Structure 1
Amino acid sequence: MESCGMSAIKYILFLFNLIFAISGIGIIVAGAIVLADVGEFSHFLEGRIIAPPIVLIVAGAIVFIIAFLGCYGAVKENYNMLIAFAVALLVIFVIELAVGIAAAVFKNDFSMVMKDSLKASMMNYTEADKMAWENVQKKLECCGIDNSNDWITAKGITSNTLPDSCCKDLPVGGACHTYDIKMLHTKGCFAELEFRVQNGAKVLIGVGIGIAFVEIAGIILACYLAQAIKREGGK
């Protein structure tokens, strides 16, 4: 006969996994939002900056799937499935921890890496670089790395002509020049990109910490129920 304690923990674990499945969807959404926010500027961002939200999306999908494994194991009181569920949660937890540590380590030098990438792109200024700069300057309403003066010494840019995207409200057929002070975007693109990435990192860290606590609780509950089933001879 099932004890009251084991019955309670079984239904608590079942409810937990329903919440866990919903949190998996939340993780996917959070990762997708961050990826959409910074992904369109991937030309200037290293893979190490783009990777965390992608990993979070994958982790969220796995969390959603294994939540059903936990629900089934709890309802059927299946020892093996509960252990498999606990191990899967532990693996996800370790992956998230590794990504978090890597992000924290890279945080110290990511600004320098991104600025170097912007400088290299501006100096090379291939067709792909041109398109990327047009996109970032239009979307973020910025000009150059720190300001419009960066274009003055850039390869292929004359002393007084700037990319059209450096100017706001540019008339059709008009050109953007260094002396068009009132029309120029005054912000540098580096600061705007850095702000976007930092905000995205805060979202990922917050979601990661929150789901880590949920995963630890799930591991403890699953192991407790699995041991209770084993003691009572359940399969």
Structure 2
Amino acid sequence: MASRRMETKPVITCLKTLLVVYSFVFWITGAILLAVGLWGKFMLGAYISIIADSSTNAPYVLIGTGTCIIVFGLFGCFATCRGSPWMLKLYAMFLSLVFLAELVAGISGFVFRHEIKGTFQRTFNEAVQNYNSQDERSLAVDNVQRSLKCCGVLNYTSWFTSVWFPSNGIPASCCANVSDCNATDLRNATTAPDKVYQQGCYDLVTGFIETNMGIIAGVTFGIALSQEDKEERKVHFTLENWGRTPKRYHTRILVFTSSFSPSPSFFLFCLFEHIIP
């Protein structure tokens, strides 16, 4: 019995170390999601307000998800060090939900990427047609045109049918050179094309979506699938330092391997307590 206990001690130490490392990596992903959510809220508000039909909660979802992952990542480290079976079970259940969400998000992003492009074209065109330089969407249009150095939906001619054009011309946010762009030129359909950006905003935005959405969805899908690539092993050992009471356990170890990184694979060991009478 003493010999068996000595043999399992290094195994327990290894399992605890690897699970703490995995929890730390999990915590980092939560911090990244939180940062992206905050960035989207404060830096991408203009783009989101155009793409969304109404006020969107996407940044708040990312912020909330990132915060939850950070909390549960810390919880996982604590549960591992404490050696509490119920804590480890709760942590494993949460990770399963996260992996499922990753899988769904990856598939949804890839399937609906064309719908996102269509939605952007429609909503951006509506914002151009109803532009008034003052409401949220109009300010968002100005922001997008200045930032991306573009004009209109497909090109500057999108503004010719806008309610803004007859009395005000093309917005100044389309000007390629502000110092050489005056209101008179912008109201003239003949001279305005020489003063404004030639490329439309739709191609720039959807080009980015088309290029990166497949990559993002593919990586997310791959990570989620890699989490399902698991190997089950059964180990019988006696625990003296894992939990408060020394017991003999029949522990099922679920090993989640991840091959999305060139670095050594991460292993998640979810330990489930089954007392052997």
- Note if 1:93 corresponds to 2:109: no
Does the 8 A contact of 1:79 with 1:230 survive in 2? Answer: no
Q: Matched residues in 1 for 2:164 and 2:21: separation?
A: 62
Q: Give TM-score, length-normalised by structure 1.
A: 0.78
> Against the structure 1 CA distance between its residues 123 and 30, is the aligned structure 2 distance closer, same or farther, given a 3 Å change threshold?
closer
Amino acid in structure 2 at the alignment position of 1:226: L
Q: 1:136 aligns with which of 144, 147, 152?
A: 144
Q: Secondary structure of 2:254's match?
A: helix
Write out per-residue CA displacement over residues 184-217 of structure 1, whole angstroms, 9 at most, x where no aligned residue.
1011011122234446636753663576478668
Work out whether residues 145 and 188 of structure 1, in 8 Å CA contact, stay in contact via their aligned partners in 2.
yes
Q: CA RMSD in A?
A: 3.6
Q: Which amino acid aligns with 2:64?
A: V
Q: How many angstroms apart in 2 are the aligned matches of 1:225 and 1:55?
A: 27
- Among 143, 147, 166, the alignment partner of 2:174 is 166
Q: Residue in 1 aligned with 2:204?
A: 192
1:17 aligned residue = 23
> Quick one: structure 1 residues 141 and 185, their matched pair in 2 at CA, closer, same or farther if it must change by over 3 Å?
same
Q: What pairs with 1:38-77 in structure 2 (closer than 5 Å)?
A: 38-46=44-52, 54-77=60-83
Partners of 1:217 and 1:82 in 2: how far apart?
A: 20
Partner in structure 2 of residue 107 of structure 1: 113
Give runs of aligned pairs for residues 153-232 of structure 1, distance below 5 A.
Answer: 153-158=161-166, 161-171=169-179, 174-175=182-183, 176=186, 177-178=188-189, 179-198=191-210, 201=213, 204-205=216-217, 208-209=220-221, 212=224, 220-221=254-255, 224=269, 226-227=271-272, 229-231=273-275
1:27-85, Cα deviation, whole Å (9 max, x unpaired): 3334545666643222320269x666654443322221111222122222211010000
Sort the Cα spacing of 1:80 and 1:221 in 2 relative to 1 into closer, same or farther, 3 A. Answer: farther
Q: 1:80 to 1:59 in 2, by over 3 A?
A: same
C-alpha distance in 2 between matches for 1:24 and 1:132: 29
What amino acid does structure 1 have at the position aligned with 2:171?
P
Please point out which of 131, 147, 157 is paired with 1:125: 131
Please list every run of 5 or more consecutive structure 1 residues that lacks an aligned counterpart in the other structure. none
**Largest Rg, 1 or 2:** 2
For the pair 1:79 / 2:85, whether they are aligned, the reply is yes
Contact kept in structure 2, 1:137 and 1:189, CA below 8 Å: yes
Residues 118 and 145, structure 1, Cα contact 8 Å, conserved in 2: yes
3-state SS, counterpart of residue 179 of structure 2: coil
Report how many aligned residue pairs link the two structures: 232
Distance (Å, rounded) in 2 between the aligned partners of 1:39 and 1:105: 24
Paired-residue identity, % = 23
Greater relative contact order (Cα < 8 A, sep 6+): 1
